[in-house]
Amino acid sequence: MSDTEQSHNTDETKEVASTSTNDVDTLNSSFLVNMTPRVLLPPSTYQLPNGQNINATQLLSIMLDQQLVVVDSIPTGFKDNVYCVLDNTNNVVTLNRYYTPLKRDKSYKKRGSWFSNLSDTLTDLRNTAVAEYSGVAPRKGVPHGNAQHSSQEYVRTDPNVIDKVKEGLSHKQSCSEIYKNMVLDSPESAPRDHHQIRNLDYNQKKQHKSAPLGNIADEIVHIFSLVNNTDFVKEVVYTEGNNKPPSIICYTKDMMKDMTPFLKSDNDRILGVDRTFNLGAVFVTNFVYKNTKVIRKETVSIPYSLVNYFWEGSYLNYHTFFSHVKARIQESVRIIDLRIGSDDESGLTKALDDVFPYPGTTLLLCTKHMKDNVSDHLKNSVGCNDKDRLQIIDKIFGSTGLVTTDDSVEFDLKSKEIVQKYPQFATYFNAHLKDRLFDHVSVPMKQLKNQDRLWTNNNCESINHVFKKSINWKTISGA
């Protein structure tokens, strides 16, 4: 019988359970073991009236008759039109049966049979049942009874699939994420479509809509419990006097394990770190690297892996996060030359400098962010025209610009040229840009195989986009 019919039968069993019949037959265990009759007169037996089976009224009278002899076992010998009163403690077994018709074809039925009250000699039969299917199973499916716009054959979803979807919803996973993960894990054991998951989500929310909401204390206790209950949450940080919610450090053991060989690899592999905005009240800071163990089939590119840190982005919280990651790295790697890249956020870069001091760590700054900062300053603070602004950016970041110099002497000479030609840019350049360009752009470029390529934090930006997409984030245009 196909999975389709089996699914319908399971559903139908629940529906007709109240009207199913029970056929209970009594059999003697000794009769099952030895069916050879013995030619002996049956003692303690009584004549059946007119040689017919006893009806319910007669049966009740017999059981209430105290003068009849109750025997321990069925008497031996030929028993013609007789009955005996038998002690049911050990000798009689019960055959239980139930019948279930298929909802869409009543002529197709299932009957289940099993024995109960078995004696010790028949213990092997206690967990055995027989399922019988009578009739011809329908070969063509029909739509769901509530379907109005679909002619698709309805097959009842495995309850285990429904339970798995509900578990994902309870962990606040999006409907698309649940569907994608279950299809990739096992297409045969996945929901029919996204709509089925959205329906379950809607019904669950509807059921819990009237339930009392938990307070903040309950939510914080739940967050702390995740450290021991899930593999993803590794540390929850809450400090004295902090009016912010707890910060959460998240990654799996496999993520940290995969990151170690990446850190030992060649100089062109840079560990990116960035903070994500526009995710609601929470900030997400993540370490991003390309996992060289796997290749994306469609684009033949290396996908990203990450370590996450949730909540407020301040120097103290960055320091806590980076210290945690550094300690876990040093559990397996004692001496390592780290190459970490980020944008030019002051709290983040200061924490990186303190937790990963030079030498031993090379900090790179995203040249795209630096270009944007320079362009913004020249346009909005200095009032520089477009022509001069583009020339200044080219003299710093161009193919023969300041960041491509071979040593500090040449770097200083080109810096003086820029300041002399564009004096309106001198204060900002000397105070905020010159040293950072040399330490975190020009010098690290000499360690890369491709020394002509300026490093950008695009990997982190790609992951940030994935975060926003997972929560259905959209840009809202102003009115």
Query: What pLDDT score does 34 carry?
Result: 34
pLDDT in tens, 402-418: 998 888 999 999 999 99
Cα-based distances in Å from 177 to 276, 337, 466: 20, 36, 12
Identify the sign of the CA torsion 240, 244, 245, 247.
negative
C-alpha span between 50 and 338 (Å, rounded): 101
Nearest by Cα to 197 from 188, 209, 205, 208: 205
What residues in the chain have per-residue pLDDT under 70?
1-43, 89-92, 122, 125-126, 209-216, 241-243, 264-268, 278, 280-281, 292, 294-313, 332-336, 358, 449-452, 474-479
pLDDT in tens, 13-57: 333 333 333 333 333 333 333 333 333 436 677 887 777 778 877
Q: Which residues pair with 114 in a beta bridge?
A: 96, 129
| Residues ≥6 apart with Cβ < 8 Å to 179 | 190, 191, 193, 194, 197
C-alpha span between 444 and 372 (Å, rounded): 20
For 76, phi then psi, to 5°, come to -85, 165
C-alpha span between 13 and 8 (Å, rounded): 9
C-alpha span between 397 and 426 (Å, rounded): 17
How many residues appear in the chain?
479
Domain ranges of the chain: 3-134, 159-208
C-alpha span between 166 and 157 (Å, rounded): 13
For 169, phi then psi, to 5°, come to -65, -35
Query: What pLDDT score does 298 carry?
Result: 56
Query: What pLDDT score does 265 carry?
Result: 63
The answer to whether the CB of 20 falls within 8 A of the CB of 100 is yes
Cis peptide before 187 (omega within 30 of 0): no
Cα-based distances in Å from 367 to 272, 288, 378, 436: 13, 17, 16, 11
Query: What pLDDT score does 410 carry?
Result: 92
Residue 340 token pair: 């970490």
C-alpha span between 240 and 236 (Å, rounded): 14
Query: What pLDDT score does 416 carry?
Result: 93
- Give residue 343's region: left, alpha or beta (phi > 0; psi -120 to 50): beta
